[in-house]
Amino acid sequence: MKHWTLALSLLALSMTSCEDYFGSKTDLDFIEVPNYGIREIAYVPIQPAFDGFVHPTDICIGFDELIYVVDAGTQEIICLDESGTEQGRFSVPGVKTVRQDRRLDLLAIGTHDTTINGVAYTLPAIYRINQTVPNGYGLNYARITHKTVHPFYFKSTFSTGDANAEFGQIAVLASADPVLNNRYYVTRRGTLSNNANQGPDQAVVLFDAQDQYVSPISVTTSAGLFTNYFKQPQGIVSFAQPPQFTARAGDDFWFTALDANQELKVQQISLVETPFGADYKPVVSVPNPDRTDRWVGQPGLFERPVGIAMAGDQSRYLFVVDEAKDSVYQFTANGLEGIPPPPASGETRYAKVSFGGRGTGPMQFNGPVAVGYWRQILYVVDAGNGRVSRFKNTLDFE
């Protein structure tokens, strides 16, 4: 045994006698050193887009966690699941936009044909649609339970100027108080300066949960109280967004304006309690050049912001779609454009993720008119291309 041990020791010594005791050092220069820099933060398309529409004009993420698309070309509301599989459809005259309240009723803006003093008119109308029956739920069971026709929700008389009014969009409100829950705002545009002391046609109008007219919204600024604060209002969104159990209560809202002469086309309005009562006041968005170059209240940033949406998750991202610029803009809850970089990245400036441009490519649009956000998926209604495009941020891929 001793002879075998001695032989092995001599063999090992002979093999290392020309090198260091532990062998020669291996050259590792051929290994590429990993780059740990920040990956690009951007929205990327999810294919395929939802298509098959004639002229889509709106999208709503419901409190039932389904997706509702309005096809004005067929005058239908179409319900889809997250995969894009159709769950049902329902016809509404002249429908152009839809929202869902927390009772899961749909509120659709459409039209109503009537004859007044022998003259035919097509008037704007809000349709309440109930989808629930004892043995089922969905658009296949839907029925209209109420119709609000302009201007007869606040007066019994009619003038020819009333025919020029139109409703824009609806924002549903949440509240812990059952009486205040499911109230909703409606943007209204028209040519009359006032309607029998019920406020101007250029207005945001409040309805209660039973579709009864409450009042137009007056706004208080440092210059005083304005009953005509809104100029060509179109898009509107509240903070009450799905999922149902985290819908934020309150009367605050964002709105968009189409008035070409108005520099600030996207604003936040907050209901503020004062010693003299509650006042609606504009919230001034403050720029932060250390974080980003643009903010939602930047004068002249938008041209025709027709659609607006808010994320219902903790991010509270705000999305604005500009029909004239064929683009989608994304802002943080405090109005700064972009997405904060990951905490460990060492970066301080927000990553600008707004995108768009005219075309048919997966990142391009042709007259986008509406936007929605649900479970980290951004939905854009691309009316000119007849589709609903889907996008996801690179930070949200696991």
Which residues are CB-neighbours of 264 under 8 A, at least 6 positions away? 257, 297, 299
Q: How far apart are CA 17 and CA 101, in angstroms?
A: 84
Total structural domains in the chain? 1
d(Cα 256, Cα 169) in Å, to the nearest integer?
Answer: 10
Q: What is the pLDDT of residue 39?
A: 54
Asked whether residue 91 is assigned to any structural domain, the reply reads: yes
Q: What CA–CA distances, in Å, run from 206 to 187, 214, 268, 343, 392?
A: 9, 5, 16, 41, 34
Residue 338 belongs to a domain: no
Specify if 129 maps to a domain.
Answer: yes
Predicted pLDDT at 197:
56
**DSSP result, 348-387:** -SPBP--EE-BSSSTT-BSSEEEEEEETTEEEEEEGGGTE
In a domain, 310, yes or no: no
pLDDT value, residue 273:
85
pLDDT at res. 7: 41
CA separation for the pair 272, 23 (Å, rounded):
77
pLDDT for 26: 52
Neighbour tally for 321: CB within 10 Å: 29
Which amino acid is residue 9, in one-letter code? S
Q: Tell me if 154 sits within 8 A of 102, measured CB to CB.
A: no
Q: Which regions of the chain are under pLDDT 50?
A: 1-22, 30-38
117 lies in some domain: yes
Range of the domain at 105: 46-303+381-396
CATH number at residue 250: 2.120.10
- 137 belongs to a structural domain: yes
Residue 159 within any structural domain of the chain: yes
* DSSP one-letter string for 151-202: TTTT-S---GGGGG-EEEEEEE-B-SSTTTTT-EEEEEE-S-S-STTS--SS
E-strand stretches of 92-164: 97-100, 106-116, 119-130, 132-133, 136-137, 143-149
pLDDT at 196: 55
pLDDT on residue 25:
54
Residue 154 lies in a domain: yes
Q: What is the pLDDT of residues 45-63, one digit of tens each?
A: 999 999 999 999 999 999 9
pLDDT reported for residue 57: 98
The whole-number pLDDT of residue 21 equals 41
